[in-house]
Amino acid sequence: MTYKIKINDRSLSINLMHNSVIDFGVFTVKATTHTFLFEAKDTDWGADINETEMEFYVNDKRCKYVGFKQLYNQLHGDGSFVKFEADIIRQIEEVVAKQIVKEYPGTDVNF
Protein backbone atom coordinates (compact mmCIF):
# COMPACT_ATOMS: atom_id res chain seq x y z
CA MET A 1 0.00 0.00 0.00
CA THR A 2 1.25 3.47 -0.85
CA TYR A 3 0.32 6.35 1.44
CA LYS A 4 -0.30 9.91 0.38
CA ILE A 5 2.25 11.96 2.30
CA LYS A 6 2.14 15.72 2.44
CA ILE A 7 5.02 17.71 3.89
CA ASN A 8 3.55 20.54 5.95
CA ASP A 9 6.73 22.33 6.85
CA ARG A 10 10.46 22.04 6.77
CA SER A 11 13.22 23.44 8.91
CA LEU A 12 16.66 24.14 7.58
CA SER A 13 19.62 23.92 9.93
CA ILE A 14 23.33 23.56 9.36
CA ASN A 15 26.09 22.44 11.70
CA LEU A 16 29.20 24.54 11.17
CA MET A 17 32.68 23.74 12.39
CA HIS A 18 35.50 26.28 12.33
CA ASN A 19 39.11 25.28 13.01
CA SER A 20 41.52 27.94 14.22
CA VAL A 21 45.14 28.13 15.31
CA ILE A 22 46.89 30.56 17.64
CA ASP A 23 50.69 30.43 17.65
CA PHE A 24 52.17 31.75 20.90
CA GLY A 25 55.72 30.90 19.85
CA VAL A 26 56.49 28.56 22.75
CA PHE A 27 53.18 26.76 22.40
CA THR A 28 50.27 26.56 19.98
CA VAL A 29 46.53 26.36 20.56
CA LYS A 30 44.36 24.57 18.02
CA ALA A 31 40.63 25.08 18.45
CA THR A 32 37.46 23.69 16.95
CA THR A 33 34.30 25.74 17.30
CA HIS A 34 30.91 24.09 16.79
CA THR A 35 27.97 26.25 15.68
CA PHE A 36 24.35 25.49 14.90
CA LEU A 37 23.01 27.70 12.08
CA PHE A 38 19.24 27.85 11.64
CA GLU A 39 16.53 29.79 9.85
CA ALA A 40 15.30 32.63 12.03
CA LYS A 41 12.10 34.65 12.15
CA ASP A 42 13.49 38.17 12.62
CA THR A 43 16.63 37.69 10.52
CA ASP A 44 17.48 35.35 7.66
CA TRP A 45 19.65 33.20 9.92
CA GLY A 46 20.36 32.65 13.58
CA ALA A 47 23.44 30.94 14.94
CA ASP A 48 24.30 29.46 18.32
CA ILE A 49 27.96 28.87 19.03
CA ASN A 50 27.73 25.75 21.16
CA GLU A 51 31.28 24.86 22.08
CA THR A 52 34.92 25.61 21.45
CA GLU A 53 37.30 22.73 22.08
CA MET A 54 40.99 23.48 22.45
CA GLU A 55 44.12 21.40 22.11
CA PHE A 56 47.52 22.56 23.31
CA TYR A 57 50.82 21.81 21.58
CA VAL A 58 54.39 22.34 22.77
CA ASN A 59 57.11 21.78 20.15
CA ASP A 60 54.40 20.49 17.78
CA LYS A 61 53.50 17.69 20.23
CA ARG A 62 49.98 17.55 21.62
CA CYS A 63 49.80 17.97 25.39
CA LYS A 64 47.26 16.51 27.74
CA TYR A 65 44.79 19.19 28.81
CA VAL A 66 45.41 18.61 32.53
CA GLY A 67 49.18 18.65 32.07
CA PHE A 68 49.15 21.90 30.11
CA LYS A 69 46.80 23.48 32.66
CA GLN A 70 49.12 22.50 35.52
CA LEU A 71 52.17 23.79 33.66
CA TYR A 72 50.47 27.09 32.83
CA ASN A 73 49.38 27.57 36.46
CA GLN A 74 52.90 26.77 37.69
CA LEU A 75 54.38 29.34 35.31
CA HIS A 76 51.81 32.09 35.77
CA GLY A 77 50.24 31.46 39.17
CA ASP A 78 47.33 29.47 40.57
CA GLY A 79 44.08 30.06 38.71
CA SER A 80 45.75 31.87 35.81
CA PHE A 81 44.83 29.15 33.33
CA VAL A 82 41.09 29.65 33.88
CA LYS A 83 41.36 33.30 32.87
CA PHE A 84 43.69 32.48 29.96
CA GLU A 85 41.32 29.80 28.64
CA ALA A 86 38.22 31.99 28.96
CA ASP A 87 40.02 34.85 27.20
CA ILE A 88 41.07 32.69 24.27
CA ILE A 89 37.63 31.09 23.88
CA ARG A 90 35.96 34.53 23.91
CA GLN A 91 38.34 35.85 21.25
CA ILE A 92 38.01 32.75 19.07
CA GLU A 93 34.22 32.87 19.25
CA GLU A 94 34.22 36.58 18.35
CA VAL A 95 36.30 35.83 15.24
CA VAL A 96 34.06 32.87 14.35
CA ALA A 97 30.93 35.03 14.81
CA LYS A 98 32.36 37.63 12.39
CA GLN A 99 33.15 34.87 9.89
CA ILE A 100 29.61 33.50 10.13
CA VAL A 101 28.11 36.96 9.55
CA LYS A 102 30.45 37.41 6.58
CA GLU A 103 29.35 34.05 5.09
CA TYR A 104 25.67 34.47 6.03
CA PRO A 105 24.94 38.24 6.10
CA GLY A 106 22.39 39.38 8.64
CA THR A 107 22.91 36.40 10.94
CA ASP A 108 22.26 36.95 14.63
CA VAL A 109 25.03 34.99 16.40
CA ASN A 110 24.68 33.94 20.06
CA PHE A 111 27.61 32.80 22.16
pLDDT the model gives residue 12 = 80
Res 59 pLDDT > 90? yes
| Cβ-contact 28, 21 below 8 angstroms | yes
What DSSP string runs through 49-92? EEEEEEEEEETTEEEPHHHHHHHHHHHH-TTHHHHHHHHHHHHH
Grade residue 99 by pLDDT with cuts at 50, 70 and 90.
very high
Question: Mean pLDDT score of the chain, rounded to an integer?
Answer: 94
